[in-house]
């Protein structure tokens, strides 16, 4: 966060390129069985630029009929035709080809993402698009490295025979993949990469707020040469398209990233047919600052931990626990950092923080701030939605909070951090865990003993030390408690899309 003197850019969203302008004007369509098809019904959803509040596109709200078509296409592609015949090395080549196409179109994808989601274009270029490419390349490598094991059993064989036993990992089948709006293309690639590596097929539903890069990805999937039906892309609302997809009897697995509330609904909907489910849900991740740190270094890290992507990150470091000795200095540093962040439209190169994704999200965040004030919290920095077009909320630091306040307990998904003092390690471990969530946490200290005492106590799927949100495709990622179950990324991410078959032969 460098110091640009005008933190709030009043500028309009800059003009979009001809390529993006052409793309957003396309009529609503769905990718089913390798072709762009018209939706069955007439229901449409407007897509807005969150920086200007202008409608930029219109997408289909796919209905149960469209869902059924897409699932049938995914089933047919999974069971027969070229996809199941393909060698792992051939799948690997196709995935690499897709990654290359993303790379070749990176500038356009970054622009589209920034326009649709609101995030700074510089960030889309640096994180979202390269991240999507990295997921594809990493998982491409796994396609040819999926292994089982030979197993020494203790079964007694009949005279003259013996048992030969082994395990084999098979693709789980047709997967419904439902993703959120905070990292639209990155989430699509993260979800599709293991599907393609393992030989599954997918019906992917992007979030209705941010469907554009997923649709562009669909074009690149066709261009890469994947067989028809391997990836199908349906746009639509969660409660219609999403719910129909989850309920479809021929879906084998659901992979969902989104809110804990919807994750629970999906888990219930999947129960009658016991579909496999993996859920990557919400968080209220603690950032724990021990007294030995340099306050200014940690303040910069803590600000980044919560304000990155306007705080619309499942691992956002939204609860800051600072040891009493350094509390004031760290809060001063985080507040200063928050005031120096350049807030503006995503396509403006100078912007460091864009608007929130939607009006609804902006209003939700403002309602949380209101409730915090009403319950006695103090706003140390930020706290306002600037009076201008766009769904902006200024980066906000809240102090004088207590553990019962809504802003401390619930996921805000916006640029808001609540800060609390602590004295002892045991106390902070207890407070950090006093949440239904368990996605991530960070500990800031160079006191090795203290860090080693704290890390095992934290109930979270990821713990960072002296950093935050360092998510790598090789590191398994997922939640404890109500942050979900299943681990994506790494070997675990491949296993998530396979069934394990044991074979025992009397030979
Ligand atoms: P957020 O509250 O951050 O928008 P959601 O969990 O509502 O997150 O949305 C994440 C994804 O889940 C989106 O693609 C959305 O359309 C989808 N979704 C929402 N409700 C349902 C539902 N009942 N069934 C299936 N998918 C849903």
% of the chain residues with pLDDT over 70: 98
Residue closest by Cα to atom 16 of ligand 1 = 238
Q: Which residues contact 231 (CB under 8 A, 6 or more apart)?
A: 31, 192, 195, 196, 201, 202, 204, 218, 221
Mean pLDDT of 254-277: 97
pLDDT in tens, 22-61: 999 999 999 999 999 999 999 999 999 999 999 999 999 9
Strand pairing partners for 422? 323
CA-based nearest residue to 134, from 126, 145, 122: 126
> What count of other Cβ atoms lies within 10 Å of the Cβ of residue 229?
28
Give the chain's length: 507
Q: Which of 111, 280, 410, 495 is catalytic?
A: 280
Residue closest by Cα to atom 4 of ligand 1 = 180
What dihedral do alpha carbons 184, 186, 187, 188 form, nearest 10°? 80
Residue 180: CB within 6 Å of ligand 1?
yes
Give the confidence band of 270 by pLDDT, cuts at 50, 70, 90.
very high
Is the model's pLDDT at 171 over the cut of 70?
A: yes
pLDDT in tens, 470-501: 999 999 999 999 999 999 999 999 999 999 99
pLDDT in tens, 314-365: 999 999 999 999 999 999 999 999 999 999 999 999 999 999 999 999 999 9
Contact 38, 245 (CB under 8 A): no
Whole-angstrom distance, CA of residue 467 vs CA of residue 322: 15
% of the chain residues with pLDDT over 90: 97
Is the model's pLDDT at 88 over the cut of 50?
A: yes
In this prediction, residue 7 carries a pLDDT of 63
- Both tokens of 97, joined, read 């080809």
What's the DSSP call for residue 482? Answer: G
Atom of ligand 1 at shortest range from CA of 259: 6
Active site residue 280: yes
Is the model's pLDDT at 5 over the cut of 60?
A: no
Ligand 1 mutation pick, 234, 262, 365, 413, max ligand atoms within 8 A of CB: 262
How far does the centroid of ligand 1 lie from the alpha carbon of residue 256, in Å?
Answer: 9
The sign of the CA dihedral 481, 486, 487, 491 is: positive
Helix, strand or coil, per DSSP, at residue 222:
helix
- Both tokens of 23, joined, read 């793309």
Please, what is the average pLDDT of the chain? Answer: 97
Whole-angstrom distance, CA of residue 477 vs CA of residue 454: 20
Element (H, E) at 102: helix 88-104
In this prediction, residue 10 carries a pLDDT of 61
Q: Which of 314, 410, 411, 488 is catalytic?
A: 314
Parallel/antiparallel/unpaired status of strands 378-381 and 319-323: unpaired
Give the confidence band of 150 by pLDDT, cuts at 50, 70, 90.
very high
Angle between the N-to-C axes of helices 212-224 and 88-104, in degrees from 0 to 180, rounded to the nearest 10: 130
Contact 285, 437 (CB under 8 A): yes
CA-based nearest residue to 205, from 186, 224, 232: 232
- Both tokens of 5, joined, read 């003197």
Whole-angstrom distance, CA of residue 456 vs CA of residue 426: 12
Is the model's pLDDT at 292 over the cut of 80?
A: yes
Angle (CA) 55-60-61 rounded to 5° is 110
pLDDT in tens, 205-240: 999 999 999 999 999 999 999 999 999 999 999 999
How far does the centroid of ligand 1 lie from the alpha carbon of residue 312, in Å?
Answer: 15
Mean pLDDT of 121-144: 98
Give the confidence band of 8 by pLDDT, cuts at 50, 70, 90.
low
CA-based nearest residue to 7, from 293, 410, 348, 331: 348
């Amino acid at each position: 966060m460098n110091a640009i003197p005008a933190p709030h850019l009043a500028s309009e969203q800059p003009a979009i390129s001809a390529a993006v302008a052409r793309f957003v004007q396309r009529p609503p369509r769905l990718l089913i069985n390798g072709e762009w098809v018209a939706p069955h019904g007439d229901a449409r959803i407007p897509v807005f630029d969150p920086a200007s509040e202008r409608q930029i596109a219109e997408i289909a709200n796919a209905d149960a009929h469209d869902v059924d078509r897409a699932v049938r296409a995914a089933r047919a592609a999974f069971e027969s035709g070229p996809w199941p015949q393909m060698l792992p090395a051939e799948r690997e080549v196709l995935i690499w080809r897709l990654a290359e196409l993303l790379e070749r179109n990176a500038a356009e994808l970054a622009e589209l993402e920034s326009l649709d989601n609101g995030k700074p274009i510089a960030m889309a270029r640096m994180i979202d698009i390269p991240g999507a490419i990295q997921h594809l390349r990493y998982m491409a490598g796994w396609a040819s490295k999926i292994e089982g094991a030979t197993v020494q059993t203790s079964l007694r064989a009949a005279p003259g025979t013996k048992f030969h036993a082994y395990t084999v990992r098979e693709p789980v089948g047709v997967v419904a993949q439902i993703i959120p709006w905070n990292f639209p293309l990155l989430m699509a690639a993260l979800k599709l990469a293991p599907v393609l590596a393992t030989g599954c097929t997918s019906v992917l539903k992007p979030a209705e707020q941010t469907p554009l890069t997923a649709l562009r990805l669909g074009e690149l999937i066709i261009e890469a040469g994947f067989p028809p039906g391997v990836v199908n892309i349906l746009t639509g609302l969660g409660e219609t398209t999403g719910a129909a997809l989850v309920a479809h009897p021929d879906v084998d697995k659901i992979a969902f990233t989104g809110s804990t509330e919807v994750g629970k609904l999906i888990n219930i909907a999947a129960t009658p047919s016991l579909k496999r489910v993996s859920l990557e849900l919400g968080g209220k991740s603690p950032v724990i600052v021990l007294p030995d740190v340099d306050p200014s270094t940690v303040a910069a890290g803590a600000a980044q931990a919560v304000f990155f992507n306007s705080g619309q990150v499942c691992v956002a470091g939204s609860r800051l626990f600072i040891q009493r000795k350094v509390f004031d200095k760290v809060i001063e540093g985080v507040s200063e950092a928050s005031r120096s962040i350049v807030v503006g439209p995503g396509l403006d190169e100078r912007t460091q923080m864009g608007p929130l994704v939607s009006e609804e999200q902006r209003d939700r965040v403002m309602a949380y701030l209101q409730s915090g004030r009403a319950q006695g919290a103090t706003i140390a920095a930020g706290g306002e939605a600037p009076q201008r077009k766009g769904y902006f909320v200024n980066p906000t630091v809240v102090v004088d909070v207590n553990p019962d306040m809504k802003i401390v307990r619930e996921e805000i998904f916006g640029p808001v951090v609540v800060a609390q003092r602590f004295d002892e390690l045991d106390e902070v471990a207890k407070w950090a865990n006093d949440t239904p969530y368990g996605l991530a946490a960070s500990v800031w200290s160079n006191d090795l003993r203290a860090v080693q005492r704290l890390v095992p106590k934290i109930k979270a799927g990821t713990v960072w030390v002296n950093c935050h949100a360092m998510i790598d495709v090789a590191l398994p990622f997922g939640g404890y408690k109500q942050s979900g179950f299943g681990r994506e990324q790494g070997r675990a991410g491949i296993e998530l899309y396979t069934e394990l078959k044991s074979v025992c032969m009397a030979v």
